[in-house]
Each structure stands twice: as structure tokens, then as C-alpha cells.
Amino acid sequence: MHLLKSLIAALLAWGATARWLPAQDQYLAVAGALLMVNTSTVYRSVNRALHSALTRIVGTALALSVVWLLGSAVGTVAAVLAITLVTAGRRISDDRLQIASSAVLTLAAATAATAAPFGHAILAAIGTVLGAGIGITVNALVLPPLHLTQSDTAIRDLAGSMGALLRQMGGGLCERRDVDRADVWLEQARDLERLVGEAQSHVEEGQESLRWNTRCAFGRCGPVAHSELWHVLHGVSFQIRGIARTLADNAADDGTRRLGPVFLQRYAELLELAGEAVEAFVAPHRPKPADRDDARERLRGALERARSWHDTMTDLVGHGTLARPRAWHVYGSLMIDLERLLTDLEHTDTHVALAR
């Protein structure tokens, strides 16, 4: 599809400029069309075109002004670079580099067309803008890109990693392997920050692909809530890191504040239920109306089981049944983190979350 769209844009740009632009300016038009038609979203292609046109105009104006003052010579290039570097200050931004590049290209064109440098620069700018417009049009009308599938996958992978880690911690506590595995769990929990960042990039790109997309005008873009889901999972990642950090600290303790085996056994079951709830949180809905609420029922059931265990353990801790000397703050930390995790999942409406 990228090849087909590129071919269409290139042929249209070449045909639109074949009769009234010089050959070198036709290539500029084709290059501009290819650049815009291969942009990942329609919205980004328009922004990039406007940004490129602005920097080219500024660069062309700078080059023509220097040519008018100094003439077409080698020193003109040095003057353009000096002006760009002086205005950039200590940091050279991409915009100033693009302006300098445009100015140097304009100088080259003006040198090659010394008879009419101003007219040649204007024709080059027109060709570039025309090609960019053709590329944007083709990108917007010929199957404009949508990145919702990537967003779905990123959200599911993130929730799957969180659920798997919760299950691993629960299984490790059941097998009394928390001392050996606690540091590994903590590293995996810290790595969730990277996964959250990657998911955010995919979600933002998916949301951007909906803007000015002609597919959405015909109702082909169903309701999505990837951004809301990402925010919930982002908060859940903090709670998982808190749980992993507390378990690591408990494993490294000298024994005076270690949690009791009864608590750890019950907490392990609660972690496994929480992992099931996180995974059910992003379960895809079925296309049939009769099965549409299947994912919500799974989530509700997982939350109810986890909530029941949470209330039971809270009562036991409160009555001192599971308490050990100097360990009350560890109990509290673990229970509060899990309470917040379940609350974030329970109070989020997911009926339009992942409908694809």
C-alpha cells in the first residue's frame, strides 16, 4: 500500500508540473509529494508540510537577501551559515538547520540560474509546495493510515506484562521463593516504566491518526478509549512497583520485621487474583451482542474475588491475627498498594475500551 500510494503521488506531482516547471523543480515536487504521502498520519503530514514550507520560505528569503547584498560567491555561503549560527545561540535547533539547508540549496540554484535567480527560487518553492499538497491529498484520500491496531496491541501487551508479574509474585510467595526472587520482581516492576512509555507512544500515534482521517467520516473508526486505559494502567504500574519494592525490602530484612507465612500465603492468592483482574481489564469484546459484556463480567468477577480476599485480610490484620512485632507498616504498605490497584480497575468504564 505504501508503494502504491507513493507511485500515485509521484506520478501526479510529475504530471502536474511537467508543462510549466523546469526539470529540476519537477524533481523537487516529486520529492515533496513522496515525503508527505509516507507520513504516518494525515494530521502529521499537514503539520510537517506547513513546517517545511515555513522553513523553506525563511531560508529562501535569507539566501536571496544575501545574494542581493553580496552577489553569488563562495563567501555568500559563509555569510548564510554565520547568520544562522549567530541567531541560533548556544543551541542549534532542527528548525535553524533546515533554514540553513534551504538557504544553501537556494544559493546553489541561484548560482546555476544567474540570469534570474529570484524567479528560479520562486519556481522551486512553488514546485515543492505543489508536490507537498499532492502528497497530503493522496495520503488523506487513498486509505489514510490508522494506527488503532498498534494501540490495542500495546495496551494488551502492557496489561499482560503487569498481570504476568503479579501472578509471578503470587506464585513465588506460595512456593516460599520470595527471598530468592524478590530482586528479580523489583527489576521487572521497574522495567514497567519502559513498557508504559512505549505504550504511550503507540496510543498517542493512534489518537493522532484519527484526526482529519477520511475513514472516520464514513463511520469506520469505532469508539476507542486507549488514552483512558493507558492512564489507568500507568497508575497501576506505580502500585505494582510499590508491592515489588516492599516484598524486596521484606526479603532483605534481618528477620525482626519479616512478614509471617500465613499473611504471605493469603497475600499470594490475592496477587494472583489481581493479576487476573488486570488481564481481564483489557480483554477484547466479542462482536456478537450476546457476548458483548463477556469481558466486563470477567473483570467484575475477578474484582469481586480480589475484593473479598482483601476485606478478609484487612480484618485479620486489624484484629491482630496476622500481626508480627514491628511489621505493621509492611502489612499496611502491601494492603494499601493493592487496594489502590483494585480501585483504579473497578472505577473505570471499559465498555468501549477495546472493541477491535
Confidence of residue 49 (pLDDT cuts 50, 70, 90): confident
Give the mean model confidence (pLDDT) for residues 263-280: 85
For residue 354, being part of any structural domain is answered with no
Q: Rounded to an integer, what distance in angstroms lies between the CA atom of residue 154 and that of residue 202?
A: 7
For residue 355, being part of any structural domain is answered with no
Same domain? For 55 and 177 the reply is no
Out of 139-143, 166-170, 249-253, the most confident range is: 166-170
Out of 11-20, 237-246, 258-267, the most confident range is: 237-246
Q: Is the pLDDT score of 164 beyond 80?
A: yes
For residue 351, being part of any structural domain is answered with no
* pLDDT at residue number 300: 67
Note whether 281 and 161 are within 8 A (CB).
no
For residue 18, being part of any structural domain is answered with yes
Give the mean model confidence (pLDDT) for residues 38-46: 81
Same domain? For 135 and 253 the reply is no
Which residue did the predictor score with more confidence, 23 or 336? 336
Give the mean model confidence (pLDDT) for residues 285-307: 56
Whole-number percent of the chain with pLDDT over 90: 16
* pLDDT at residue number 38: 81
Same domain? For 137 and 153 the reply is no
Choose the final residue of a domain: 141, 165, 194. 141
Same domain? For 339 and 281 the reply is yes
Same domain? For 175 and 208 the reply is yes
Give the mean model confidence (pLDDT) for residues 8-22: 83
Full domain range(s) for residue 233: 148-346
For residue 84, being part of any structural domain is answered with yes
Same domain? For 33 and 156 the reply is no
As to burial, measured by CB atoms within 10 angstroms (0-12 exposed, 13-18 middle, 19+ buried), residue 159 is buried
3-state secondary structure of 118: helix
Note whether 240 and 189 are within 8 A (CB).
yes
Residues 108-161: pLDDT tens digits?
555 544 444 556 667 777 777 888 888 888 888 888 888 888 888 999 999 999
For residue 122, being part of any structural domain is answered with yes
Q: In 3-state terms, the chain is what percent helix, strand and coil (to 5)?
A: 80, 0, 20
Same domain? For 197 and 342 the reply is yes
Phi-psi region of 221 (alpha: psi -120 to 50; beta: other; left: phi over 0): beta
Reported in sequence order, the residue ranges of 75-183 that DSSP labels E, i.e. its strands, are: none
Same domain? For 105 and 131 the reply is yes
Q: Is the pLDDT score of 256 beyond 60?
A: no
Same domain? For 303 and 181 the reply is yes
Global confidence as pTM: 0.69
Same domain? For 25 and 167 the reply is no
As to burial, measured by CB atoms within 10 angstroms (0-12 exposed, 13-18 middle, 19+ buried), residue 131 is buried
Q: Rounded to an integer, what distance in angstroms lies between the CA atom of residue 335 and that of residue 182?
A: 17
CATH number of the domain where residue 268 is located: 1.20.58.220
Q: Is the pLDDT score of 198 beyond 60?
A: yes
Same domain? For 116 and 160 the reply is no
Q: Is the pLDDT score of 265 beyond 50?
A: yes
* pLDDT at residue number 299: 59
Q: Is the dihedral of CA 341, 347, 352, 355 positive or negative?
A: positive
Give how many domains the chain has, as a whole number.
2
For residue 251, being part of any structural domain is answered with yes
Same domain? For 22 and 127 the reply is yes
Which stretch of 96-105, 134-143, 207-216, 311-320 has the lowest confidence by average pLDDT? Answer: 96-105
Q: What is the mean pLDDT of the chain?
A: 75
Give the mean model confidence (pLDDT) for residues 160-169: 94
Q: Which three cell numbers stand for residue 185?
A: 520482581
Which residue did the predictor score with more confidence, 149 or 63? 149
Choose the final residue of a domain: 141, 159, 175. 141
Choose the final residue of a domain: 92, 111, 141. 141
